[in-house]
Structure 1
């Protein structure tokens, strides 16, 4: 039985005041997470190389023309929802400034979804190293607390939009305040990235779709929602799909802004937590992204849903009913009935490089399930002519902390620590990008 949007909005609005960004080991709304491997339900993963009709996929052509489109449609129908076709964008330059003692240029651009002057817009903040021989590769990702949270420069405007109530007094109600400046700078080590020869582009995810369930009337759902009116209501795009759609429009902007000095054919999409789920879906739906990075993305991201450890499909749909399409609620505590699982989401990025990262104290996101999903995607990568996770076969055991698997085009590491993005994570991503987005690749 499908839950109505009005009922879901009431539940989500009430839950909004009791949920933090990552509740981890706490019981939320009566939910008690399982962390005992012996209590994982028996499950069989769907084979990414067998079609829905039972036919084996044995060639790259079969994957590209039959199985990949089939899997993409299944994820649209059952998990993330169907998005509108790409809309035209308009661009308005806001500012440009040399920053970090001459290390880089920071440019701010408003990207409008459509041609109307009052179209919904998002502000993209772009850092490009000044010392470069030509166009450089880049990382594109959404941020949680506004562009002003990435960099504490007072010249960056406080985003005037809606924010989830922040920790440590970084919001006044649902509005950002001065304490939020630089609040997430540790997740964006800009100077480290720039000194390695990469550009960085970021957008506040709430510009695209504010992170609460209002029945899909705000953000780009309100702007473009009529374009999916022909889709069954239960399979229309949720917020993760909307955020991914915004990332693709951000890439449109980077392609158009040729004077920035970014090689738009070498843009890695990345994200953390719910935005890691978003990066994976963006990478699956938009093959222009040259590399995909998932940091602690968990349930609905890189972790296998069928393991039902930590956050489950039922719990995530109850707490955040707007993230996925309504059809996904059919798999609440019923994960084995879903025709897809997250290893197939990872496989949809093939043969492009992809990196999945976990943390030892982030059991809520099921690190083992994230590793197993990456390993289970390996056969697709090998079918398409790559070395997958490296070696002759994917590793049989999950690696120890700080022992990254990074020799192939599917990377993985487990980091000591909590649900976060750290310098260690970025060092692995930069090393991985050096191998796959530089030296003529």
Structure 2
């Protein structure tokens, strides 16, 4: 199905019916309006930004990756009405690179096996050695430390701390994806304080549900200079209108805790949503945005992921970006880099590996090194 056949909302058409034609109109009027719509209808409204009480405990050690890296283990601590909480950030810095360095922050939804702090083993899902060898710091946090990935009535994790269950929940209250994105923003709070990190060059990365989270984190927090969405599919990078594979009804049935309650009212009613996912991608503009798919990931629907990026390009062009320069899905394993956006479709299944990371880093070399 073509973009024209999907009848998408125009990201540059304001709620008052007037066309956005300047950067200032986008920043002051249209962008806040789209952000409000996504909070009200999809991801929910987080009750707190940076907590009043937040602190960082850092352990720094040398001699990792045969001397090529310095390891930092950071505990990010905070307090809310429901008590105290914390999660950990694992960080490897290139030992010989001039500081401060750019960083890739991974939202890890794959469990602890992919993140060996001792580096006795390396997973292609998080190839910290590759990232460090290219002059970037490699950072990671585990989603389960912020909020468990289960329908627990929002009693555990940061929901229980900042949105106590004894209070009636609003239909617009934040879901689990928003809680994980909130954690990415708190990791960014720390990275801004680390003299070894350049806070102007932080890329947030996620795969699948982590990719949905990375996009929402990049939308709500303009401090992220680059956002990478890998195989994020439904309610991630993929358009909902005309989507094949997983639908809004499917995702709400399987993961009722991921989004706000209002989102369920659009099960089977994608065309009635006041937003679609290209508008989420447009919220990243003019910062760097990379979307990636996989040929066998039909549940995510690569075509809808790619077309969503194309449909977001008018906002990038408003800021002087030329976009990808093509409206046709590129051949597999052939990345396409525009001045503000990038895309590739990898041969294979729903996963993230070394070839994906090489493309992410190549794009970051162009998009973030120049900043």
Q: 2:212 — aligned with what?
A: 277
How do 1:223-302 residues align onto structure 2 when only pairs under 5 Å count? 223-226=161-164, 233-258=170-195, 261-302=196-237
**What TM-score does the superposition give when structure 2 sets the normalisation length?**
0.94
Deviates more, 1:240-249 or 1:108-117: 108-117
Q: Secondary structure of the equivalent of 2:330? A: coil
User: In 1, Cα distance between the equivalents of 2:359 and 2:267?
Assistant: 35
- Deviation of 1:42 after TM superposition, in Å, equals 5.8
- 2:114 aligns with 149
Over 3 Å counting, the alpha-carbon distance change for 1:106 and 1:146 in structure 2 is farther
Q: TM-score if structure 1 supplies the norm length?
A: 0.79
Measure the CA separation in 1 of the matches of 2:80 and 2:97. 34
Aligned residues: 369
| Larger gyration radius, structure 1 or structure 2 | 1
Pairing of 1:6-405 with structure 2 (within 5 A): 43-86=6-49, 87-88=51-52, 89-94=54-59, 96-114=61-79, 119-147=84-112, 149-151=114-116, 153=118, 185-226=123-164, 233-258=170-195, 261-389=196-324, 391=325, 395-405=326-336
**1:168 counterpart residue number:** none
User: In the aligned structure 2, how far is the partner of 1:137 from the partner of 1:228?
Assistant: 42
Give the SS at the match of 1:83. coil
SS of the residue corresponding to residue 171 of structure 2 reads: helix
Distance 1:431 1:42, change over 3 A: closer
2:359 matched residue in structure 1: 428
RMSD across aligned positions (CA):
2.4
> More displaced, 94-103 or 338-347?
94-103
CA distance in 2, matches of 1:43, 1:71: 19
Question: Aligned partners of 1:243, 1:65: CA distance in 2, in Å?
Answer: 27
Structure 1 position 146, deviation (Å)? 3.9
Mapped to 2, the partners of 1:343 and 1:426 lie a distance apart of 23
CA distance in 2, matches of 1:204, 1:57: 39
| Shift, 1:387, TM fit | 2.2
User: 79-88 or 427-436, which moves further after superposition?
Assistant: 79-88
